[in-house]
Structure 1
Amino acid sequence: MAQGVLRRPQPQWLPPPADPMFTLLLYCTEAAGASAVGMYSLLERREYTIPLPDPPISNRTWIGSSHGWIVTADDKSNLILLNPITGEQIALPPVTTMEHIKPIFNQDGVLDKYEMSYYNGLIPRVEETPYEFDLPEYREVYYKAMLSSNPSSGDCIVMLIHQPYSQLSFARVGEDHWNWIPIGLFYTDCIYHKGWFYTVSVLGAVDAFNLNGPSVVHKRILKDMLTLGYEQMYIVQSPWGDILTVNRMTIIPRNGNPEIEETELYTSDIVVYKADIGEQKLVKMTGIGDYALFIGHNTSSCLPVKDCHMLMPNHVYITDDEYLGYLSLDISDGMLEFTAWKITLSNVVSPEPWKSWLPPIWMMPNLMKTGFQDQNNGGD
């Protein structure tokens, strides 16, 4: 397979911002080294290597992709926005400003650990025993992050789903603290649409949050819909106007099959629902027609394939976002044919070049510059 090195200034083949024809797969690879990533272009069916600024990407994890930016966590678990195409970075507020976190210093006064308290917004407050994390270990409690807009606009909010209990916190780019939302538990995904963040929970409930005023405005727009909780529920704004929720079931095969590694994870089923807000019900869909779904740590999206010859209609393109995916497991990534009767998995890139410790992530490139260029990480 052809491979190139992507060098700045902007390469001519890259698209305008948020062009669905240019969905890319970003991944870490041994060949790229500690300070670069591999990138696979679905349009060109070609791999590129992208050099990235410090801190080295090998010392980070990523937990979100939105508007052409990747949300990364460094070795102190501070969050940094990174545009892999332009090389710009924006430090988000330090982890020590989060509601549930207390910094712990060693005898020399150096930050050594984080202590996380286990409680939620229910009153009276009930707290479990706090737990101490090493600095890089704490980033494992981040589930997913998404942006309200391109940070280049100068008015961007980052929503974070995190432990304890998969709650929500948000921060405005350029401010110095995180804001806890003491409403709701066990969220798994979030999107932003026309001034509102929409979240979905493990039971399929959909909440809406408006963060543009002096206080948080919350609406429960769909009650709990499922009797069993699923950690991998997604929420998608469809191009035709419906809110979709996606239930992705992942299994670890039982022992006894000599052809399957015991540590491999597999997506066993995908169920897509239309959220009928008026009737307060989920309507199971039997197909998505000439559209493709992209799910994983990226902002979940549904894209038309009419003018995108490289995309398969009625398919779900997936990358792993399981918590177990960070435990050096071999993850199944690729695309699924979505029908009412069967799920068929095939690889988008074969052989898979990425490291299993950091699953790949979907993104759409963004070439717009911001006024935050060359900021370093968030500090202690």
Structure 2
Amino acid sequence: MDEKSDLMLLNPITGDKITLPPITTMECVKPVVNNDRVLEKYKMSFYDGELPRVEDTPYACPLDRYGDLVYLKAILSSDPSAGECTVMLIHQPYAQLSFAKVGDAHWNWLQMHSFYADCIHHDGCFYAMTEAGAIDVFDLNGPSVVHRRILPNLVWMVQKCYIVQAPWGDVLQIIKEESLDPEQPDGETYVTAYEVYTVDFFELKRVKTRGTGEYTLFTGKSTTSCFSVKDHPGLMANHLYFTHDDHEELLSGKDDPRDIGVCDLENDTRTNLVDPKPWRTWFPPIWFTPNLAKAVLQVQAW
């Protein structure tokens, strides 16, 4: 984001930037100007597409703070430096979807669909998963958007859902569950567990797996990822590395400890990676995987 919360694509290794449409082209955003017609702040409308249009009082927010409150996750269809690229954005209010292709002048709002938790681009389409575990497919390749729900909500309560395409080609759905620990008398201690499912696109069902074998998973506010331990010997096979990813908690409790650790998928045990105290005043932690290929070529050219 820049100082006005407008989004851009940035290669952190090379410094290359690609601008995206202005934030004021989003359906939920209205600019507020002062008497000198200078942009002063934004107002976010609370509207989910239902008709007749009824919404709460718009929420006013400073320019530089808007993005922290509203942007939840961005997903790319491809490497933007390689050609055409579409950005799918999960954003507030109500965790809705908007998309833009590189070069577009405005964001395209996918109305009537809300409360999404994660999304991937797979086989030419975007697969967005709701907070309750349902999976929707969006085909943006034609003159109009084609939407279809391929898997329903889960029948049990979940805390978080993630979706990722594994290196071997399968699409995995990761469910994070949190329940009270029956062994603790205070009634306020929670136990967190993760379950992994393979999405069967032919029979349109989920198949529970025993884990990821010689692969490991990463979850958090950034892109959900899956890596081979053969290519990354420092990682543990059949484990899941996680970072704190509750959007509201990260905003309201910036001085609170972050939940960062690793979960053994075979025996459902977890271990904290670090003492959370050093992370108290940091930005929400993310997993960062740089691609050095372009940087190496530039160095060789020099």
- Identical aligned residues as a percent: 51
Matched, 1:87 2:15: yes
SS in 2 for 1:136: helix
Q: Which 5+ residue runs of structure 2 have no aligned equivalent?
A: 296-302
Tell whether the 8 Å contact from 1:292 to 1:305 is kept in structure 2 after alignment: yes
Matched, 1:131 2:59: yes
Alpha-carbon offset, residue 176 of structure 1: 2.2
Q: Which residue of 1 aligns with 2:260?
A: 333
**CA 1:143/1:306 → structure 2, altered by over 3 Å: closer, same or farther?**
same
For 1:181, give the aligned amino acid: L
Rounded to whole Å, the distance in 1 between the matches of 2:77 and 2:237 is: 27
Which one has the bigger helix percentage?
A: 2
Please, which of 16, 31, 45 is the counterpart of residue 103 of structure 1? 31
Q: Which residue of 2 aligns with 1:345?
A: 271
Q: Which 5+ residue runs of structure 1 have no aligned equivalent?
A: 1-72, 371-380
**CA 1:151/1:266 → structure 2, altered by over 3 Å: closer, same or farther?**
farther
Alpha-carbon offset, residue 168 of structure 1: 0.3
Rounded to whole Å, the distance in 1 between the matches of 2:191 and 2:243 is: 10
Alpha-carbon offset, residue 318 of structure 1: 1.6
SS in 1 for 2:287: strand
**CA 1:184/1:131 → structure 2, altered by over 3 Å: closer, same or farther?**
same
Matched, 1:211 2:140: yes
Q: Which residue of 2 aligns with 1:269?
A: 193
Rounded to whole Å, the distance in 1 between the matches of 2:150 and 2:120 is: 14
SS in 2 for 1:365: coil
| Structure 1 residues 320-364: Cα deviation after superposition (integer angstroms, max 9, x where no partner) | 22211233122122322212x4221231x6788656341222232
Alpha-carbon offset, residue 175 of structure 1: 2.3
Q: Over aligned residue pairs, what C-alpha RMSD do you find?
A: 2.9
Matched, 1:233 2:158: no
Higher relative contact order (CA 8 A, sep 6+): 1
Tell whether the 8 Å contact from 2:31 to 2:42 is kept in structure 1 after alignment: yes
- Normalised by the length of structure 2, the TM-score is 0.84
Alpha-carbon offset, residue 252 of structure 1: 11
- Normalised by the length of structure 1, the TM-score is 0.68
For 2:85, give the aligned amino acid: C
**CA 1:242/1:82 → structure 2, altered by over 3 Å: closer, same or farther?**
same
**CA 1:345/1:251 → structure 2, altered by over 3 Å: closer, same or farther?**
farther
| Structure 1 residues 58-85: Cα deviation after superposition (integer angstroms, max 9, x where no partner) | xxxxxxxxxxxxxxx2332211222111
Q: Which residue of 1 aligns with 2:219?
A: 295
Q: Which residue of 2 aligns with 1:174?
A: 103
Tell whether the 8 Å contact from 2:240 to 2:264 is kept in structure 1 after alignment: yes
Alpha-carbon offset, residue 241 of structure 1: 3.3
For 2:208, give the aligned amino acid: K
Matched, 1:360 2:288: no
| Structure 1 residues 13-47: Cα deviation after superposition (integer angstroms, max 9, x where no partner) | xxxxxxxxxxxxxxxxxxxxxxxxxxxxxxxxxxx
For 2:28, give the aligned amino acid: H
Matched, 1:77 2:2: no
SS in 1 for 2:81: helix
Tell whether the 8 Å contact from 2:21 to 2:100 is kept in structure 1 after alignment: yes
Tell whether the 8 Å contact from 1:248 to 1:267 is kept in structure 2 after alignment: no
Tell me which moved more, 288-297 or 325-334.
Answer: 325-334
Rounded to whole Å, the distance in 2 between the matches of 1:320 and 1:351 is: 10
SS in 2 for 1:361: coil
Matched, 1:319 2:243: yes
